[in-house]
């Protein structure tokens, strides 16, 4: 960024031995002053605007093309991810259209039914908030869950046992907190309380089997009995995926308790 030029006033008087009384003064009788202060202020404002614009452009480019940072606000992904964990969500694989695999942890905007039917807002401030993630702009909640069902998969959940994919029990011993405390056999079984507290049943009383449609995913939290996921709001459109969790870079750890010091007088 180039430094601003300092402009001097052409009305600045130059004293000379032959100057007549009153020369070099303005109409108010005050000596003319250089306009350096005003020009410097304008230059500062220009540089400030340029700095803000460049920062926003870089922020949007990095956040859209490469990655963004997110934090975990709930316990739905315990024990894998804990409350207040900070992680990096990468976007490159999505732009390269790399296939999503079962077991991937994705960050996404939940279906509208989970948010009381409200779709993502397209007003300028909301769009800028999604692009930059700046805290003073409108915020739209995002979820983080694990991919359990891929397009074409037949999903069935048996209480106290686990998740069956195409008739086979899925081995989730490496990441789940506990086994599910509910059954899920048919589309009509999907439902529950949304994040707004509303009781939802996205597929009504449908007796159809739970088969993931093309372009959609079946998402679940590792904390199966404390997670608002696909067993509540149904399938996730892949167009709502923000990115994949790739790096946990900060975790709050409780300091170890100090041993109790015995009072020598007792």
Are 110 and 169 members of one domain? yes
**Distance in angstroms (rounded) separating the CA atoms of residues 189 and 159:** 13
Question: Quick one: pLDDT at residue 19?
Answer: 42
Are 94 and 41 members of one domain? no
- The answer to whether residues 224 and 178 touch, using CB atoms and an 8 Å cutoff, is yes
Are 43 and 175 members of one domain? no
Are 47 and 151 members of one domain? no
76 in catalytic set: yes
Q: Which of 50, 65, 80 is the last residue of a domain?
A: 65
Contacts of 24 (CB under 8 A, 6+ apart): 13, 14, 15, 31, 32
- The answer to whether residues 207 and 181 touch, using CB atoms and an 8 Å cutoff, is no
Are 182 and 218 members of one domain? yes
Measured between alpha carbons, how far is residue 19 from residues 8, 9, 11 in Å? 22, 20, 15
Question: Quick one: pLDDT at residue 10?
Answer: 36
In DSSP terms, which residues pair with 245 in a beta bridge?
A: 89
Is residue 261 domain-resident?
Answer: no
Distance of CA 147 to the CA centre of its chain: 18
What is the DSSP code (8-state) at residue 56? H
CA nearest neighbour of 69 among 93, 54, 90: 90
**Distance in angstroms (rounded) separating the CA atoms of residues 100 and 154:** 17
Question: Quick one: pLDDT at residue 35?
Answer: 55
Are 173 and 219 members of one domain? yes
Is residue 91 domain-resident?
Answer: yes
* Structural domain count, the chain: 2
- The answer to whether residues 234 and 113 touch, using CB atoms and an 8 Å cutoff, is yes
Could you please report the per-residue DSSP string of 176-222?
-SS--SS-B-BGGG--EE-TTS-EE-TTTT--SBEEPPTTEEEEE-S
Question: Quick one: pLDDT at residue 1?
Answer: 37
Question: Quick one: pLDDT at residue 180?
Answer: 96
Domain of residue 173: give its range: 69-250
**Distance in angstroms (rounded) separating the CA atoms of residues 189 and 125:** 38
Is residue 137 domain-resident?
Answer: yes
Is residue 80 domain-resident?
Answer: yes
Burial code (b: 16+ CB inside 10 Å, e: under 16) for 247-259 equals eeeeeeeeeeeee
Are 54 and 148 members of one domain? no
Question: Quick one: pLDDT at residue 44?
Answer: 84
Are 57 and 132 members of one domain? no
Catalytic residue among 91, 145, 194, 230: 145
Q: E strands, the chain, where?
A: 67-71, 86-90, 105-108, 143-149, 154-158, 162-165, 168-169, 192-193, 199-200, 210-211, 216-220, 236-237, 241-250
Catalytic residue among 9, 75, 76, 207: 76
Residues of the chain with pLDDT under 50: 1-31
Distance of CA 205 to the CA centre of its chain: 34
CA nearest neighbour of 111 among 51, 40, 194, 170: 194
Are 83 and 179 members of one domain? yes
| Phi, psi for residue 158 in degrees, rounded to 5 | -115, 125
End-to-end CA distance of the chain: give it in Å, rounded: 71
Other C-beta atoms closer than 10 Å to the C-beta of 123 total 9
């Amino acid at each position: 960024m180039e430094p601003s030029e300092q402009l001097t006033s052409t009305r600045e008087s130059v004293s000379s031995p032959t100057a007549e009384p009153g020369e070099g003064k303005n109409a108010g009788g005050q000596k003319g002053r250089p306009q350096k202060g005003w020009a410097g202020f304008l230059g500062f404002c220009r540089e400030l605007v340029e700095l803000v614009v460049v920062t926003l452009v870089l922020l949007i480019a990095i956040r859209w093309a490469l990655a963004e940072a997110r934090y975990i606000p709930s316990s739905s992904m315990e024990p894998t991810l804990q409350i207040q964990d900070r992680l990096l969500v990468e976007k490159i694989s999505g732009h390269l259209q790399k296939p999503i695999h079962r077991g991937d942890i994705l960050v996404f905007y939940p279906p509208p039914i989970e948010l009381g039917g409200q779709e993502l807002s397209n007003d300028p401030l909301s769009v800028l908030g999604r692009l930059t993630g700046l805290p003073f702009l409108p915020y739209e909640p995002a979820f983080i869950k694990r991919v359990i069902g891929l397009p074409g998969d037949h999903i069935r959940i048996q209480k106290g046992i686990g998740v069956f994919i195409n008739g086979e029990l899925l081995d989730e011993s490496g990441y789940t907190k506990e086994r599910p405390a509910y059954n899920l056999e048919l589309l009509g079984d999907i439902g529950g309380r949304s994040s707004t507290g509303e009781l939802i049943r996205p597929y009504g009383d449908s007796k159809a089997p739970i088969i993931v449609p093309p372009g959609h995913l079946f998402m679940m939290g590792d904390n199966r009995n404390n997670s608002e996921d696909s067993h509540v709001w149904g399938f996730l459109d892949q167009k709502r995926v923000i990115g994949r969790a790739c790096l946990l870079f900060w975790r709050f750890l409780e300091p170890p308790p100090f041993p109790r010091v015995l009072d020598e007088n007792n």
